[in-house]
Amino acid sequence: MKIICSKSNLSKGVNIALKAVPSKTTMPILECILIDATANQIKFVTNDMELGIETMVDGTISEKGMIALDAKIFSEIIRKLPDNDVTIQTDDKLNTLITCEKAKFNIPGKSGEDFVYLPMIERDASITLSQFTLKEMIRQTIFSIAVNENNKLMTGELFEIKDNYLKIVSLDGHRIAIRRMELAKDYEDRKIIVPGKTLNEISKILSGEVDDQVTIYFTKNHILFEFDQTLVLSRLIEGEYFRIDQMLSSDYETKLKINKKEFLSCIDRATLLVREGDKKPIIINITDTSMVLTIDSAMGSMDEEIDIVKEGKDILIGFNPKFLIDALRVIDDEEITIYLVNPKAPCFIKDDKGSYTYLILPVNFSQAR
């Protein structure tokens, strides 16, 4: 095999492909990037058996063939080469010569025949949306998936297509994040659970441009994202997602409108007095025209008053400040509406259009403190 590509094209391809190289595996071949130049295009393929990536790299094929190279070494070499054309050439013993200007690297390769290719899937059911929208919807929900694996369903996000809307839901037992967006045309209703790891990696690769499209294909066990010159295939999480509709009550005793930036800045300031890992709640006292936020920790105390517009009852309630910050950071509205029932019931931050809902459980706190 002999191929010639610019360093920038190689770097782009390698950076995309690296997202599916496993950190630990019992199959050494999976620690490689497969360079496939057997047809008329150069493809980089990686696969960790849960997530697989195939991306096209622009370049010239002088001699067809394929080789599997250690992903870590190969990516480091490409990263440190001069900005010029790079030649990658293999011999019949799988030795690989990488040349750029006066730099020459010789590294051993593995047979491409041993590589585990991505499974071929049916491309029947699909939706198409802008890369910007998908990237934003992931960013606005991914923070509330569960990190530990105790409940597999919580480590993924629900993608639900219903009545021509795409809804993405995540939850971790303390909070729920929901984003909803109208699709450009009618699609068949469906529900699937996509691993959080897949979505994290996808959002790093997506361009985030409004005019760039991504097509998502669904099968029983897999989801396939196709965009630019890249395919990302992931296994789905099996099982039925939590029935969250019964948690999303529209009843409330207190409704308030508040400037989002002011509210976020205030909580941010309060957390200066909270050590990492310390579970100090922020206490919110809501009266007729103002809200007072208080935090009291071993490092000191702080309180601050914010103007609000309130309907309904006064309330004193406590929250984990991190959960409020996470939700507020991904809301773009200048003014937000918060709905509360009582100090033991979750609060809701949602808009009138129904494009987002954030539910956060309160924290019990003693009045004595």
* Identity of the amino acid at 247: M
Predicted confidence at residue 368, as pLDDT, reads 35
Predicted confidence at residue 249, as pLDDT, reads 85
Q: Is residue 243 packed enough to be buried (19+ CB in 10 Å), middle (13-18) or exposed (0-12)?
A: exposed
pLDDT in tens, 308-333: 999 999 999 999 999 999 999 999 99
pLDDT in tens, 264-275: 999 999 999 988
pLDDT over 80 at 277, yes or no: no
- Give domain 249-360's CATH number out of 3.40.50.150, 3.10.150.10, 3.10.400.10, 3.40.50.700: 3.10.150.10
The helix or strand, by DSSP H or E, that contains position 198, with its residue range, turns out to be helix 196-205
Mean pLDDT of the chain: 95
pLDDT band at residue 367 using 50, 70 and 90 as cut-offs: very low
Predicted confidence at residue 279, as pLDDT, reads 81
pLDDT over 50 at 203, yes or no: yes
pLDDT in tens, 248-259: 888 999 999 999
Which among 67, 79, 53 has a CA at the least distance from the CA of 107?
A: 67
Q: What's the CATH number for 125-235?
A: 3.10.150.10
pLDDT in tens, 156-190: 999 999 999 999 999 999 999 999 999 998 999 99
Write the CA distances from 362 to 107, 113, 220, 229, integer angstroms. 57, 55, 37, 45
Which among 355, 293, 337 has a CA at the least distance from the CA of 319?
A: 293
- Residue 334 token pair: 């200048």
Predicted confidence at residue 342, as pLDDT, reads 96
Predicted confidence at residue 281, as pLDDT, reads 93
pLDDT band at residue 49 using 50, 70 and 90 as cut-offs: very high
* CATH 3.10.150.10 is right for the domain spanning 2-114: yes
Predicted confidence at residue 131, as pLDDT, reads 96
pLDDT in tens, 94-130: 999 999 999 999 999 999 999 999 999 999 899 999 9
Predicted confidence at residue 369, as pLDDT, reads 44
Write the Ramachandran bin of 321: left for phi over 0, alpha for psi from -120 to 50, otherwise beta.
alpha
| Percent residues over pLDDT 90 in the chain | 89
pLDDT over 90 at 83, yes or no: yes
pLDDT band at residue 365 using 50, 70 and 90 as cut-offs: confident
Rounded-to-10 torsion of CA 271, 276, 277, 282: 0
How big is the chain, counted in residues? 369
Residues of the chain with CATH 3.10.150.10: 2-114, 125-235, 249-360
